[in-house]
Every structure is written in structure tokens, then in C-alpha cells.
Amino acid sequence: MHNQTRLHRRVMIQGLAGIAGSAILAACGGAETATSTTVPVSVAPTARVNTPSAAATISMTANSTVQGATSSQPTITQAAMQNTAPASGMIDLLESGDSAVAGPLQQLSDSGLFQKAGVKVNLINPGGSDEQVDERLKANRVAGQLPDLAVVSSASARIYVDANLAQPLEGIISSDTAFNGADLNPGLLATGKLKGHQYAMPFLAGFLVMYYNPDDFQKAGLDANKPPQTFTELGNQAQQIVAKNAARYGAVFAYDSDNMWPVQNFLASAGGSWTNADETKITFTTPQLQSIMTFFSGLAKQHATAALTRQEAREAFYRGDLAMLVDSSSTLGTAKKTAKFDVRFTSYPIPDGGSRKTVPSSETLVMFTKDLMRQAAAWQAIKQVIGQDGSAKIIEAGAGGLLAMSNAANNNAAPMYPILKTGLNDTSSAGGPWYQFPGTHGTEIWNILRNQVVAVLQGNKEPTDALKAAEADAQPLLAS
């Protein structure tokens, strides 16, 4: 096993107003002020990371009540929990088009596990990424036809909480005395907690890594056992790979990643932020973000990078046209199955002088229905997704990342689900915030920035001008 196929990282939980950081501190008895906590991470080449329950930062009682919650959500009776079929006989679940999500959900449906739990689920796939889900939800809201449940990124969940559309989950969780909340992965659970309530139930989180083709390194005269760890190293190696005709592109991050997720990791590692402290002013023109975009602008001018979508970048990597791909750990299984070479991965390179921070991208289930019977049915569906059946199917689909259930719970289930057996070297992890702007226009703000980033990568704009334009256009949308 190469050293590069096992990552040892420190995950920083940064307290942000209204996001999981203050909730974690409150649960631990600390003051709700911005801080950071480091927890070691080990991403094994088995395409998953699991978190032992002993590392809990949020604890739940034996009967699954979220501690410290003051939700005014009506309590669902045990009779309602047992009689879960809604009046229509079916609940709607809007899913992501991501194969790591859609595939397992479809398998759960096809295998009859939803029905076995007493609920019929109508899966609705809008195609595409999480942002396509957000667009579909926007249209459904206008039409007054929101689904009962939806797969939503942990960043986008804030949009629906701020719009008073998402429904808190504490009521249905505490009403289900048969459910042991202590089995949940506490670090992942924290990424779905906003404004002191569990509005989203995470079931998978990916981490930013860098995949690379060792054959391209050797062709370029580089040591395949020493992939780049800083931007300077990345730039030098990417340019050498292109200069030696080892690959068409040296290094790429996908510009269309949801909420500019790779750049979120770069910026966090550089010590930057997207807004001022009270989230009233966009800060796209800070030195940290300017430096990041200047670096990639220089690579583009040297033809060592390009403006590629996720699909384009992944396909280029799999066929050998791209030497280094900065992407999610959730694609590890697909990469190893699809590529015709020995796929390796390592920590993603960070800006020079920075400190590597990890911003996980979590997939969550958000409940929109206010009907108590439909909420009870929705909870039964959620339990199937986050349980061992759902987790096993997620791994089988080739996803890599944190799972909903804890390391200990998965080990206990290993006799029935061998695929969930965790390695002795897996260590604890907790999620940091995948940032979303306050208000209901977060998606539009990211789109504004994305368009300017593309202009930079295509050589149509200088970074300073592009970021100034993005900041000016995005500011009126902030918290509006």
C-alpha cells in the first residue's frame, strides 16, 4: 500500500453563526463563540471513513432525544409511529442525480425495504447534482408542491431553514423509543444541526482529496510517491507534466462543484472567509481568495489546467488525459473501477503557508411535510437510508466517506453486513461547516462567483477584476 493511499488529516470544526459549530459547543457545555476543534481523520483506501461513537461531540439519550433541544414541534404518538402509511399511501422523496445517492436509494426501494418498514416511497430524480435538486425545490415551492423529503447538501439545508420550510426532526426521533440515537455518527450528525435543531439528517459525507495517475508522473520524470502538497509544488509538477507531454492537463478542480466546494477547502486552509464576521458583507476580494485565483489563473495561462465540469474532469482523468484531479472521496470506488491505471490519492494541495482544513460535503435528508402522519412515514424512510441496509448499499455503489452510523454500530452489524466492517486504523472524525450564505439566495451567489471563476480559468478576465465583479453582484443578494 502506498503512503498516499491513506490520508491523515486534521478536521477543523469552526463555529459559524447559525451553523453546527455553536450547536456542538452548546451540547458540550461551552460558550457559543467561534472556535475550532481538531479531530484526527484517516481515510482508508476501502473508500470509507467511519467515526467511533466514543468521540461524540453531540450526544443523544437512550430513547433518541437530542439533548439540549427545545423544539416546539408536536410530539408524534406511538400509534402514529406504528401506523406510518400516509393518507395518499405514499410519500415523495426528491433525490439527487448523483449515482452514489440515487443508486442506493433505488436499491432500497427495489428490494422492498421501504415497504417492509411500513412506508411506500415515490423516488423523484431531477437528474444532475445537488444544485439541480435546489432548482427543483425552488420550482416546487412556487407551485406549492414541496416533497415530503428531499436529499439536500448540508450547505443548502440552511436555505430551507432560513425560509422556514425545513421541519425539525427532534420530535419524530424522540417519539421513536425503539430507535437508539447513540448509534449515530456524532460528527456527521453535527453537520445537519442548524439554529440549535436537527433540521437535516446526514447519511454520507465526502472529503476533498487529490487523485493522481502515477504513470503520468513517471513519464514526466516525477516521483509518483511524492505528489504535491502545496500550491507551489502543484504548479511545478502540473507544468512539468504538460511540458513533457505526459498528459493533456496537469491539474484540475471542477468549477461546477456544488457551492464551489474545492475552493471552500482552499480558502479555509488559507485562513480566509466568504463574508465578514456577522455575515453582512461579501468578502470575495480578500487577499486569500485573490491569491488562490491568481494561482489557478497562472496555471491556465501555462495550459496546465482548464475550466472543466465534474463530468468532463472525471472522464479526462479516467482516460489518462488529466494527471491530477482534485475531487471528492465519494468517487473513489468509481475511479478505481473506471480508470485503466493504478489510481492513487493523497491530501489535496493547499495554498503555501496555509494549514490544511477539511470541509466535508454532506448529503442529508431534509423533511418538508408538516403533516404528522406523513412525518412519521418520512422518519421510517430516513431510518432505512441511515441504517445498515442503506449504508451497505451506499458503499456498494462505490461511495467513500463518513456514514450515518458510528464505527461501533457498523462493527456490531458486520456479521450480517460484512461490507460495513471497519479497519483497526480508522480514527474519529467530525464535520466542519460546508458554508452557505444566509438567506434564500445562496445558490445564486455561488453561481455569480462560479461564472467569474470560469472567466478567469478561460483567460477572459484577470482574477482581481473577476472577484470585484462577483462581490458587487452578490452583495445585494446577501440575506435578502
3-state secondary structure the chain: CCHHHCEEEEEEEECCCCCHHHHHHHHCCCCCCCCEEEEEEEEECCCEECCCHHHCCCCECCCCCECCCCCCCCCCCHHHHHCCCCCCCCEEEECCCCHHHHHHHHHHHHCCHHHHCCCCEEEECCCCCHHHHHHHHHHHHHHCCCCCEEEEECCCHHHHHHCCCCCCCHHHHHHCCCCCHHHECHHHHHCCEECCEECEEEEEEECEEEEECHHHHHHCCCCCCCCCCEHHHHHHHHHHHHHCCCCCEEEEECCCCHHHHHHHHHHHHCCCCCECCCCCCECCCCHHHHHHHHHHHHHHHCCCCCCCCHHHHHHHHHCCCEEEEEEEHHHHHHHHHHCCCCCEEEECCECCCCCCCCCCEEEEEEECCCCHHHHHHHHHHHHHHHCHHHHHHHHHCCCCCEECECHHHHHHCCCCCHHHCCCCCCCCCCCCCCCCCCCCCHHHHHHHHHHHHHHHHCCCCCHHHHHHHHHHHHHHHCCC
Place of cell 427545545: 70
CA 285 – CA 308 distance, rounded (Å): 24
Q: With left for phi above 0 and alpha for psi between -120 and 50, is residue 19 left, alpha or beta?
A: beta
Q: Which of 337, 384, 336, 367 is nearest to 107 (CA)?
A: 384
Which pLDDT score, from 0 to 100, does residue 420 have? Answer: 66
* Domains in the chain: ranges and CATH: 18-203+360-420 (3.40.190.10), 208-357+441-477 (3.40.190.10)
User: How many of the other CB atoms lie within 10 Å of CB of 62?
Assistant: 9
Q: Which of 344, 197, 202, 351 is nearest to 262 (CA)?
A: 351
List, for residues 286-313, the tens digit of each pLDDT value: 999 999 999 999 999 999 999 999 999 9
Q: What angle do CA 56, 258, 150 make, to 5 degrees?
A: 65
Q: What is the pTM of this model?
A: 0.71
Q: What angle do CA 322, 102, 361 make, to 5 degrees?
A: 60
Which pLDDT score, from 0 to 100, does residue 329 have? Answer: 83
pLDDT tens for the chain, 480 residues: list them. Answer: 443 433 333 232 232 222 233 332 233 333 333 332 222 232 222 222 222 222 222 222 223 333 334 444 444 444 444 444 454 468 999 998 776 678 888 888 888 889 888 899 999 988 777 778 888 998 999 999 999 999 998 888 998 999 999 999 988 888 898 888 888 888 788 888 889 999 999 988 888 899 999 999 999 999 999 999 999 999 999 999 999 999 999 999 999 888 899 999 999 999 999 999 999 999 999 999 999 999 999 999 999 999 999 999 999 999 999 999 999 887 887 888 899 999 999 999 999 999 988 888 888 999 999 999 999 999 999 999 998 888 888 777 766 667 777 767 777 776 776 766 643 233 333 335 688 899 889 889 999 999 999 999 999 999 999 999 999 999 999 976
Nine-digit cell at 139? 420550482
The contacts of residue 185 (CB under 8 Å, 6+ apart) are 50, 51, 53, 402, 403, 404, 405, 406, 407
The residue type found at 29 is G
CA 192 – CA 45 distance, rounded (Å): 26
CA 292 – CA 473 distance, rounded (Å): 20
Which pLDDT score, from 0 to 100, does residue 432 have? Answer: 52
CB 97 within 8 A of CB 66: no
State the number of CA atoms in the 13 A half-sphere of 53 facing the CB. Answer: 16
Question: Burial, 97: exposed, middle or buried (Cβ in 10 Å; 0-12, 13-18, 19+)?
Answer: middle
Question: Burial, 271: exposed, middle or buried (Cβ in 10 Å; 0-12, 13-18, 19+)?
Answer: middle
